[in-house]
Amino acid sequence: MFRCGIAYPRCRWILPLLLLFAIIFDIIAIAAQSGWVEDEDAKTHYASMWQQCRRSKDQWDCRSLMEFSWAQAVAALMIIGLIILIIAFIISVVALCCSLNIPLLPLIGGLLILAVIVQIIALIIYPIKFNELIYEGYYDYTWAYGFGWGATILMLGCGILFCCLPNYEDNLSDNTKVKYLYTSA
């Protein structure tokens, strides 16, 4: 894959591990109650994927965002992306860690690309609709929203690698001869 050497047998363990990190990042993004966005100045308003909360005096008033169809779509797309990611993770463990099953690798890559598309749509819909319906000043996107993007970027990289790995079947199974850079005459 790369000229200066990559330990292909290690890819068999690293790629499922990266998918596990993507699952953890996705769960953090979906389950975060502290908000995906918050106002910068007075810390009086924040919104997560599920609800928005405003503070008046010393009390928080929280309302569900699930009354809006765009918020329902964002939640559904993020959960669908997580389910596809979990399926791809399970298949990757079977294909790479239990035994080397090369024909499954493009399937895993395709599932990951599908999950990336679904989650990118969700992660773009949220700020657009938030700005249209709820925006009241200057807001910052928080770490929870960043974890959603982090999981999506990890899935994209792993998806590309899973699509490329079948070309290096001999290297993955460690059946290649050692190639020396310098040979004496």
Average pLDDT over residues 103-132: 91
Task: List, in order of start, the domains of the chain with CATH numbers.
Answer: 9-36+67-169 (1.20.140)
pLDDT band at 115 (very low <50, low <70, confident <90, very high): very high
pLDDT of residue 168: 67
Enter the tokens of residue 164. Answer: 């490329």
pLDDT in tens, 129-168: 888 877 676 777 888 889 999 999 999 999 998 888 777 6
Strand residues in 27-76 grouped as ranges (E): 37-39, 45-47, 51-56, 59-64
Specify the higher pLDDT residue, 176 or 153.
153
Specify the higher pLDDT residue, 15 or 171.
15
CA 164 to chain CA mean position, Å = 19
